[in-house]
């Protein structure tokens, strides 16, 4: 470790030199994950362009032709490879925080389930570790079940990058895609995890606060009713503590810019302030803080291909009640100063 005077002089809290190798690998896993999230698509596009202008341009043509013919796979159940979900990388990534997956009830592998996940946070680290990888032991906790994390369809238009996220079980957020995955005639034992609050909710992600968007989000209720899949409330405690984003009050200039970019692109431009690889004071590596993703009890939903607004509202109200109860019941186990922390639903 650097002498205290040097550390204080530089104003940086440096990481000790005697950190065990296991923790170094965990930091490497988390660093690789955030780099994938921030720069993965840009790197994939760059590599594809480089391939086009190389001596192997014909490979780019072949890949492009194959990709165009494969473009709808993200709406047709995806293409999961378990070996990709079992990479050691994901174990180190989940152990870094650590991300812990907790179940409160068994799930019937002969049925399909729609996981409505909260909060979105900046990058949904809890949901990603729990449902896009096996690093949090999803197969052991829910034997016979398959998890599919839902993301924006635009991610599947990026060459090479799309193949990685497809291998991890990710699928498009279109209604067609979700209904396909939840169709009991095609699949049994599918757990489709959707971040209901989406990119808009990411703008309200601040340490120690849990402000979620639910009141005006009813599309997932309609999908559950059309498919007859059970709704499952899922809450990741600690998700909002993973980064320290810049303050963006609702009426501020920064917030207005963020909202406009989100409307144009579907992505919220956030600044994930965390720590560095070799120091703890600044950087984009997530903060090492526990994230516990609790899967609540399933809520049975009667299949209804043409639900009315009143029927959707009734199911929505019941789900909102169950999500709030899950938060209040479990928060004392996973949050410090839980007495002063409340769930704010907008």
Contacts of 332 (CB under 8 A, 6+ apart): 338
Please give the pLDDT value at position 90.
98
Please give the pLDDT value at position 213.
95
Find the largest Cα–Cα distance for the chain: 69
Cβ–Cβ < 8 Å for 138, 132: no
Q: What domains does the chain contain, in order, with CATH numbers? A: 4-242+250-334+341-345 (3.40.1130)
Which helix (H) or strand (E) element contains residue 231? Answer: strand 230-237
User: pLDDT in tens for each of the 346 residues of the chain?
Assistant: 445 544 554 678 888 888 999 999 999 999 999 999 999 999 999 999 999 999 999 999 999 999 999 999 999 999 999 999 999 999 999 999 999 999 999 999 999 999 999 999 999 999 999 999 999 999 999 999 999 999 999 999 999 999 999 999 999 999 999 999 999 999 999 999 999 998 889 888 889 999 999 999 999 999 999 999 999 999 999 999 999 877 777 777 877 887 777 777 777 677 778 999 999 888 999 999 999 999 999 999 999 999 999 999 999 999 999 999 999 999 999 999 898 899 999 9
List, for residues 126-161, the tens digit of each pLDDT value.
999 999 999 999 999 999 999 999 999 999 999 999
Please give the pLDDT value at position 3.
52
**Alpha-carbon gap, residue 236 to 291, rounded angstroms:** 6
Beta-ladder partners of 148? 192
**Alpha-carbon gap, residue 312 to 244, rounded angstroms:** 36
Contacts of 268 (CB under 8 A, 6+ apart): 199, 200, 202, 203, 258, 261, 262
Q: Which two tokens stand for residue 195?
A: 């971040």
For residue 9, count other CB atoms closer than 10 A to its CB: 10
Nearest residue to 164 (alpha-carbon basis) of 68, 228, 81 = 81
Nearest residue to 101 (alpha-carbon basis) of 71, 66, 139 = 139
Cβ–Cβ < 8 Å for 182, 229: yes
List, for residues 265-324, the tens digit of each pLDDT value.
777 677 778 999 999 888 999 999 999 999 999 999 999 999 999 999 999 999 999 999
User: What separation in angstroms does the CA of 334 have from each of 62, 211, 212?
Assistant: 50, 17, 18
**Alpha-carbon gap, residue 286 to 28, rounded angstroms:** 11
């Amino acid at each position: 470790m650097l002498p205290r005077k040097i550390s204080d002089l530089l104003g940086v809290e440096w990481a000790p030199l005697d950190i065990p190798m296991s923790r170094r690998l965990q930091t490497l896993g988390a660093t690789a994950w955030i780099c994938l999230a921030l720069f993965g698509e840009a790197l994939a596009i760059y590599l594809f362009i480089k391939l086009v202008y190389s001596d192997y341009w014909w490979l780019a043509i072949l890949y492009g032709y194959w990709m165009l013919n494969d473009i709808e796979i993200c709406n047709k159940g995806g293409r999961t490879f378990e070996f990709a979900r079992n990479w050691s990388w994901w174990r180190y990534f989940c152990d870094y925080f650590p991300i812990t997956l907790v179940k409160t009830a068994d799930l019937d592998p002969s049925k399909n389930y729609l996981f409505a996940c909260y909060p979105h946070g900046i990058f949904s680290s809890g949901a990603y570790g729990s449902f896009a990888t096996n690093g949090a032991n999803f197969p052991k906790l829910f034997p016979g079940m398959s998890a599919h994390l839902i993301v924006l369809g635009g991610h599947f238009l990026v060459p090479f990058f799309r193949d990685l996220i497809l291998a991890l079980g990710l699928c498009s957020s279109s209604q067609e895609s979700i209904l396909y995955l939840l169709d009991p005639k095609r699949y049994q034992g599918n757990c489709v995890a959707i971040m209901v609050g989406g990119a808009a909710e990411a703008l309200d992600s601040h340490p120690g606060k849990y402000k979620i968007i639910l009141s005006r989000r009813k599309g997932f209720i309609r999908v559950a009713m059309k498919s007859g899949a059970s709704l499952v409330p899922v809450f990741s405690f600690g998700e909002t503590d993973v980064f320290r984003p810049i303050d963006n009050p609702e009426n501020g200039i920064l917030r207005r810019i963020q909202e406009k970019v989100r409307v144009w692109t579907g992505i919220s431009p956030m600044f994930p302030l965390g720590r560095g690889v070799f120091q703890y004071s600044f950087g984009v590596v997530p903060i090492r803080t526990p994230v516990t993703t609790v899967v609540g009890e399933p809520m049975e939903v009667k299949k209804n291909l043409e639900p009315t607004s009143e029927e959707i509202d009734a199911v929505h109200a019941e789900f909102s009640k169950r999500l709030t109860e899950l938060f209040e019941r479990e928060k004392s186990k996973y949050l410090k100063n839980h007495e002063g922390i409340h769930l704010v639903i907008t």
